[in-house]
Every structure is written in structure tokens, then in C-alpha cells.
Structure 1
Amino acid sequence: MSIPNNRGPLPPSSMNLHGAVDLSALKARAEAARTAPQGGAPAAGNGQQAEAQPASGAGAAGSPYVVEVTEQSFPQLVQLSSQVPVVVDLRAGWSEESSRVTAVLEAIAVEHDGKVLLAKVDVETQPQIAQAFQAQTVPTVVAVLKGQPVPLFEGAVPEQQIRSFIDELLKVAGANGVAGSLREGADAEGAEAAAEEPPLPPHHRAAFDAIEAGDYLAAAASYRQALAEQPADAEAKAGLAQVELMQRLKDVDAATIRQRAADEPDILESQLAVADLDVSGGHVEDGFARIVAFISRTAGEPREAARVRLLELFDVVGIADPRVTKARGALARALF
């Protein structure tokens, strides 16, 4: 999923914490594993915190900003993600695409000199982490900001596009107060840079604070007020679409929604609900295609409601995203 600009809230994909992706559960399980006795001996050196190991690949050049991660060392990433963005590279040794993407990510991590941490995960030896992020292919690359997962991309992505993803991630991180550095003595420098960020407009600030508190209804009200005062406020429009999606998916059961959609292919609400899940989980094209298919086989009010929801999801993803451009074309063909 494309990442919003550096003036908005965290991307809507962070909603996965309220649904199928549960990093807190993974963290708790890893912490329990470290302290539980195994074969009569304490785990991880008498309960001492397991350390994430620096990667030894040629691209990483032994960089401390590239680490190999296990389920036991995963809690460190959650903690560090409040200081710097953590990029999680879900990969497999047999995949040439994984190797190419990893090499690019390693180079980027070294170049940023502590502003970002690359966490490499072997999905074959660490399947629990892959399952937590709902990774269905390798490579899958996800970020973690303040303990919240942010899907970035899947598959073989060109180097320039990968760099664009990381650049936007750093902008979003800075706007959300994650502007530190792992480089010794750089924390004060990062804090000073964060302090120089221009303040958000009042209604945007109120919306962001409400999102932080989990009050999506209040956030939506703030964005609506911003739009009432400035109808051309594109950031408020995108923010409103995001928090409305968050509210719709709050406390939902993903398995139930998907089963209902399978059982009710011609029921508007069922198809829109699973499309929401797809977009929030990073399966943007699947979500768009589902709504377009519904539009193509129905008519009347349900068709119009589906069209409106699709346009809202375009705002969630970002109107400049190529997946949105592609879906707009498919929508036009379905309508005309």
C-alpha cells in the first residue's frame, strides 16, 4: 500500500493491529519463550534478552543496522520501532527475487546510517513471524512504526521504487515522532530535526490525536470540519477515508467477514466488508477487483453504493498510486 504524505496520520494498514495481524501477541509469546525453562535449563542465558544478530551478507557489510531476526528477538524490533522505522524483510534463501530485494534494502539501510533498521526474517525458519504479517509470498516487505505494521510491497520491485517506498516511510515516521537514530550520539540530532517539523493544522492535529487514542469517530469529525472550512483539502479528504475505514474494521472478525462474502457474492455489504479487509491488509488490487466485479454484475442503488465506496478506497490508497489508476480504468469499463 502506498504511504500517505508526511503531514498525515499513520497509514490505514496499521489497523491490522485490531484484526488478523497481532504483533503484541507475537511479542508476548517470544518473551514467554525466553523465560520458560527448556530441558531444565533457563532459556536465553538465564532470562537475559536475546540479541538480534547483525547480518553477515556482503550487501550489509556487517552493518549494525541490518539484523537477522527470530521470534525470540522480535520484541526488540517492536521496542526500537518507537525510535526508528523498522523495515521487516520476509524472505527465503531459495528465492532469487528475495535475494535481489534484500541486497537493495541492505544498501539502503547502510546509506541511512542508523535512521532505519532492516530486520531480515527467514520465513522457513521463522514461520510465526511470517504468519503474523500475513505474508503470502516472498519477498514481502513490511515496516513497523510505534509497534504498528505498515505493509510496503510484495514481490520483485525495482530498486528505484523500493527507494521511494523507504523515503516516504521516513517522512511518515518523522511526522509521527519516530525521528531518532541508532547511530551513537545522534538521538539529540534526530530530536532537534523532529522539533523543526512544521505543526499540523488544528483540525488535522485534533484528528491525529484522536487516532492515537483510538477514537476514529472523533478523528472523522475533525477531518470533516477541516473539509467544511477548506473543501479542497486533499489531506483531510484522504485522512477522512482512512479513519472511516479504521472505524469500519474496528473489532471485526476477519474469518467471519471472508466466509460471509463467499456465501453472499451478491450482497453489497458482504462484498464491501471483505474489500475493506483486503485494502487494509495490503491486498489492494484484490479489494479493488472485488468491488469492480460487483459493479459489473449489478445495477441500481447497490451499484452506486459500491462505486462510492471504491472512490473512498482510492483516497485511502492514494490517487497517484498506479493500482488506483489501473482500477479507475476497470471501473470505467464496468460502468460504461
Structure 2
Amino acid sequence: MARIVHQLSLNENHSPPLPGVPEAVAGLVDRVNLTLDPLSAGLEAKIAGRLGVGAERVVAGVGSAALLQQFLMTHAGAGSEVVHTWPSFEMYPLLIGNSRATAVAVPGPDDRMDLAAVAAAVTDDTKVVLLCNPNNPTGEVLDAAQLRGLLDALPPHVLLLVDEAYREFADPDVVADALDLARIDDRVAVVRTFSKAHGLLGLRVGYLVGAEKIVAPLRMTTLFFRVPTVAQAAASAALDVEEQARRNCAAVAVERDRVRDGLVELGLDVPPSGGNFVWVRLGERNEAFRDHLAEHGIAVRVLAGGSGVRVSTGLREANDAVLAAAKSFTANG
């Protein structure tokens, strides 16, 4: 097996650290022995100010996955169901199982999210409907009308939890902003992360926004999911350069679309994507494609029970390597 040169299996943001972030981290090296802001109150207030909501509606956590876990442990549990689309984030079933709830996966045609089927899958035992928008790993983007339509179809006892880890890579004129719904409907909660758009994957910090009655119970477990001091400082610094983060995401989206166009020209099935990755579907040849790329020093992932290959967007050199390896793969039949 060739040495992996291009790591494109983790959906990392390969842009350089945002201005001010390294300095914020370095500035706390001599104070890592102190707790400082144990519950991230300062960061939560800053996030709330940027979003135009009250700080009581924001809770910070150690990445979006941890916040999803807190939410499900709080609002689902034994005897309840959590409905989610499929394919989607591969950790959803595990997170739901950890909360002792039952995961109800709803497949859609052509790997797309079937929101009518999601609504139809809801029962009296359903506590949460969980969506990823843009969807990981397929890249599908839901617009505001689609999200509103789903919410209108849900009964009053069901919460809608929207995972927006990748929204900054999507077209802002198309992708739904679930916060707009959360402002007017207390059933909606939104989780976001600093790992992707802001490039803080190695520090693990995210936040969840919702009605105070939804958010407040999560604070009972925040003590065990505390954001480290260094991560708080990095996230705060990243918020100060949002425009640069947006420019970085736009550049990633350009590269993502270039890779997709190149793969489509080779005859591969690659749907449009709103994330920092593309979803390549080769049927029975998915694993062969992954292995072929690995032989060329590129790490990618087969996901969703083998239904596709997710290829993260890297720097131009890495993306060129993907296109070259894909070309040799298709040339060999």
C-alpha cells in the first residue's frame, strides 16, 4: 500500500488557520493550569451577539457531535424514537443508541432526503427528527421552503434538530438557515461547529441554539462537556474574522465544484454538493475506487453501507491528484 500523501477522508478544512487564531492559542499557553471561564459564558455571549439572540438560547460544547449527544440524551431516551434521513452522518445511529433511544433511518430515492417519508415515519414515540443540512456524505442542500414544509408536517410533540456543520460551504442564497425557524418556533434547535468553516477541528468547539426551555436542560451536563480554555479563545478569535472564513469557504467550494466537474466528465455519478466534499457513486466498484486512490496516496472513505465514496476537498495539489487517479481508474474500466 502506498504512503498516504493526501488525507481526504476526514472533511478537514485545509485552509491556513484564520488570522488571530494561532496568537489566541499561544497567548494561553502559560495559563492552561487555570479554569478561567469554565462554562464558556463569554463565548456563548459573543456567539449570541453575532446571531442576534439572547445568550440563554446558546450553549457551547466540545464540537457539534458532543452537542448532538447532549441534546439526544436530554430530549430522547429509552422508549423513544429519533427519526433521521439516510444516507447521512454515520455517527447518528451511534449517538441515538447512546441515548438509549431507537434510531429510525428513512432512506430516500437516489440517496436524496425524502422529507415526506420522514414525516410519515413519525409516531407517538418520536421525540426528535434529526437532519443534516447540507447532508453529509451526499452533499444535498435543503432550502428554506423544504425545511419549513417538514416542520409544518411534524406534530407538536416532536423537536426538529438541524445539524448545520457544513452550511458555510453551500450557496447562501439556496441553503436554509434553520436559525430563522428557531426564532419563531420553539420546536427547532440548530447545532453548528467551528471545526469546518473556521478550521478548528483539532480543538473541538461548537454551539447549539434553541428556545431557552430546550437549551436550559442541556446545561445540566455541560460541566462534563466543557470547552477547553484554549478552544474558547480560538473560537472567539475566529468569530472576529468571519469575512475571511467566508472567503476560505468560497474558495473551497470552487475547488469542490472543479473536482466534481472533472469526475463527471470522466463519466462518474457525482451529485452536486453543498459541503466540503463530493459523493461518488460507483455501485459495486466503490471499494475498488477507494483502494485505487489509496494506491495513489489518497485517503477517502466508503460510507453508508457501501453506497458511495466521500471525497473531501483538499488543496489544489490534492484535488489534482484525485482527478488524475480517477482518470486512470476509469481508463482501466
Q: Tell whether the structures are fold-level matches, with TM greater than 0.5.
A: no
> Relative to total residues, which structure has the larger strand share, 1 or 2?
2
Whichever structure has more helix as a proportion of its residues is 1
TM-score between both structures, scaled by the size of structure 2: 0.28
Q: TM-score, normalised by structure 1?
A: 0.28
